[in-house]
A and B are shown apart, each in its own frame.
Chain A
Amino acid sequence: MNQILVIAWREVTRLRKRFGGGASPLAVVGLLALIGLSAYFLRDSVSLGAGLYRVGVSGDVPLIEDSRFAVLSLTSEEGKVFLEDKTIDVFIDGSQVISRPDDRSQYAVRALKQYMEAAELTRVGNSYDGESAFPLRVGINYLDASQPTGGPDAAAPAEVIIPSLTPPPAPFTQVLITLIYIMPITFISIFFTSSFMDEKMNRRLIVLLSAPVTPFQIIMGKMLPYALFALSTTALIAYFTKTNVLLALAIFAPTTLFIFAIYLMVPLFYRTFKDTTFIAMLVTTLTTAYLIFPAMFTNVNDLSYISPLTLAVKMYREEPFGWREYLFPSFPMTAIFLLTMFAGTRLLNEEFLMGYKPLTRKISDAIYLMLARSKTYLSVPLWSLLVIPAVYMFQILFLTFATNLPVRLILGFTLIASAAMEEVIKSISIVVLARHDKAGSWRDLIGLSFLSALGFLVGEKLLVLISIRMVSEAPVAGALFGVGLLLFIPLIAHFVFTSIVVLTHTKLKFPYPLAVAAGTIVHFFYNVYVLRGGF
């Protein structure tokens, strides 16, 4: 523990020195202030469709203050001519709105409708008393599906709304609030990455490695200041947005660990600066997608619980959630953190850090280093079991990606992509071991394939067990994680697919991607068969 603190303190000093020299802190503060100020001025004016529509107005028309519309004052005749030659999209002549039948004009009319509705409500609300301006009250009552009540009861409605002032529930704004938490965490973890890279570059890391500290202590020490900083920003944001600070910390701590874990991998794998930039960008995009996309569907689909942001949205709405809901997103994230910490301790050595090889070689070396120190019959199934949370996250990303495809292709794409992913995960450990001559005979390969399939299946079923209630409601997810209740048939199936991949690659000398493709195709047809109710 002491060592960790020493390294952590050293890290703080390093950072202070780096950003302490010259006028740069001043410049940074200045720039940050400038951005804050502009964001403050821009908070209302930036919206979807900024500057898209040109509107001509003539006569008594309410002031149009919306970044989507560029307004031109015209006479009645000019307006009609301009509308005809498509210089403007829509023309408002007093209380009359004139448009063309083409799409662009009709889109403008819809956008105008939204704006005018709000503007008119404000006008009516200001010039008449509340009861005349908003004469309708809607009482919302909830019916319990299981117990029919005797008849109309006199109980007060659960809530009373004014339709024009109460937008239907949509989590969009709250999702944006919760996004504020993610941004500082990502930003801070980029500094964590930079620090690692810097030390790798000037070889201080190598010196540190020869000192009597373990790689684990180095990583923890370097991560500690940044993680604490990230958690304190979380606490601050929670405090300023007037929500439960402890709950916010509990929700975002696994997320913070997860983001840090991924950013720990960046400096370990990079070879050139450009690598870092691109890998970091990729990682940011994927994690943001993973976090935001499901949260958009809060209260619409229970699968949304895979993102911790969903919990945060619920927290802001003061809706309760239970342990299951909490563990559903948090467990895989924490598991991935632990796995990468383990990987980090194994990879933090001079040879791996300094080697310049193709990225695929680096990855295979990394896997080898993680497996090499223990017996293969233990490490292979453990690998397959422990990587499950990562597989699961990737499958969610595939699903996100697939929503972009035509509807009938979504299921097919997701099934193929996840089958390929699973085949890679199960076979890669064996293939890597075979490359380093740790396994070679038919007996070894087939035995390891079986163990790998077993490990994978156990992990998969454990995950399903944890998440059964949520996931079971979504048929696609059910297909991804296997719906077969019999454990025996899936085990044999996984074993067969893995053996196909391993043997075609190591014995028949097929290139690895081709071998994976072969396994994937068989796996895909098996999945389709299961989905159709085969077992």
Chain B
Amino acid sequence: MIFPVLAVVKKELTSVVRDGTIVISILIQLFIASFSSGLLLGMLSLYDADTIVQFGGNIKIGVVDSAENRLASLMRERGLQVMEYATLAEANAAYFHGEVLAVVDTPQDVNGLTQVDLYLPASETTSSLIRMVIQEPLKGYENYLRTEKGIELRYADLKGKPATSFEFVYSVLIPMLMFFPAFVAGSMSVDSITEEVENKTLQTLLSAPLTLNSMIAGKIIASVILAFLQCVAWLTLLQLNGIVIQNTGWILLLALMIAGITSTSSALSAVLLKDRERSQFIYSLILLASAAISTLLNISPITTMSRFAIGDAYTSGLNIVIFAAFLAGLCLLLSKLSRRLLV
């Protein structure tokens, strides 16, 4: 009984390796991973004031001086280079000589409000950059004005470290690399099952000493093995890159469960619909729907995966049980419905 299943597994695996399709899959994942981190790098360097100040060199801003200019000192604290000028005309002249990138006029009281005039270059690129780095000092100045009016903004002095990169790695990159192989495994199961039907090779296959269920099981197992191997490879690569990942055992188990769930549910849709076009379509809809529902029910495997990876104290093997139970249910359902493939 077990040997025919193994034979199917072996056949599926060799065909994937021979066709070279698995190479494309790995290429896609590599591309998605580097694309999304490249995107993040771009976002970080262009839309993060910290990075701009750190790497942007000296950003010189001209300030029209007055006796006590709180805004100017806030800009210095931000790491900007502030040049003081006596009048706006002088500051503007300095701008046209290229000494400063932008000019900030003296704050003035207008009908109970404080107004500051900002003079920026017409070039969109430079002006949006300056607006990004000057945002923090302006907000600080606004807070200072609020305090003067007796309004206290709480938690205004929090600092911390920029978390974008950390959040990206643990909540996007790791779950994506762990679940994308599962998603591919589902598609593969649909392909290999519907291919037997559409090529009319199913009957021939079943005339061998092989039951329908073990044929389907073999195809699912082959897809899951491939997904699992990819997950192991990604985890190793991530750790070689110096990303600290806790609970690797649980992470792999969770990835295995999810690959099992996607392949079984895709096999289910293949068994019921029997052609690739509709099965793939329904499978991807199911995938989207279950991602949404699991997030809604607060049992999202993505969050569980992130929490495992950062070593969250409240996340343990118990969180995987629900996915295992769901997988068992799906397998049972599939074994009951598999006969439909022959009808």
Contact = CB atoms under 8 A, between A and B. Distances in A.
Contacts of B95: 143
Contacts of B188: 274, 277
Interface stretch (A131-139, A255-263, A462-470): A131-139
Query: Main SS of the interface on chain B?
Result: helix
A18 interface: yes
B88 interface: yes
A273 interface: yes
Given A50-B303, A136-B138, A401-B34, A86 B163 contact: no
Interface in B111-160: 112-125, 127-129, 131-132, 135, 138-139, 141-142, 145-146, 149, 151, 153-156, 158-160
B159 A113 contact: yes
A34 B289 contact: yes
B20 A359 contact: yes
B343 interface: no
A279 interface: yes
Interface stretch (B203-211, B251-259, B305-313): B305-313
Given A140-B118, A275-B21, A300 B192 contact: no
A328 B286 CA distance: 39
Given A136-B116, A142-B122, A145-B122, A278 B285 contact: no
A403 to B, nearest CB: 4
A316 B119 CA distance: 25
A38 B296 contact: yes
A278 B313 contact: no
B326 interface: no
B167 A49 contact: yes
Interface in A162-177: 162-164, 167-170, 172
Given A51-B306, A111-B167, A149 B161 contact: no
Interface stretch (A39-47, A208-216, A245-253): A39-47
B171 A52 contact: yes
A35 B19 contact: no
B110 A137 contact: yes
A400 B38 contact: yes
Nearest to A195: B277
B282 A201 contact: no
B119 A143 contact: yes
Contacts of A126: none
Contact of A151 (B92, B116, B167, B288): B92
A156 B163 CA distance: 39
Interface string A179-191: 0000000000001
8 contacts: A52-B310, A99-B160, A133-B151, A142-B127, A274-B21, A275-B21, A281-B184, A403-B38
Interface of B: 15-16, 19-21, 24-25, 27-28, 31-32, 34-35, 37-39, 41-43, 46-47, 87-89, 92-93, 95-96, 103, 110, 112-125, 127-129, 131-132, 135, 138-139, 141-142, 145-146, 149, 151, 153-156, 158-164, 166-168, 170-172, 184, 187-188, 190-192, 194-195, 198, 273, 275-278, 280-282, 285-286, 288-289, 292-293, 295-296, 300, 302-303, 306-307, 310, 312-314
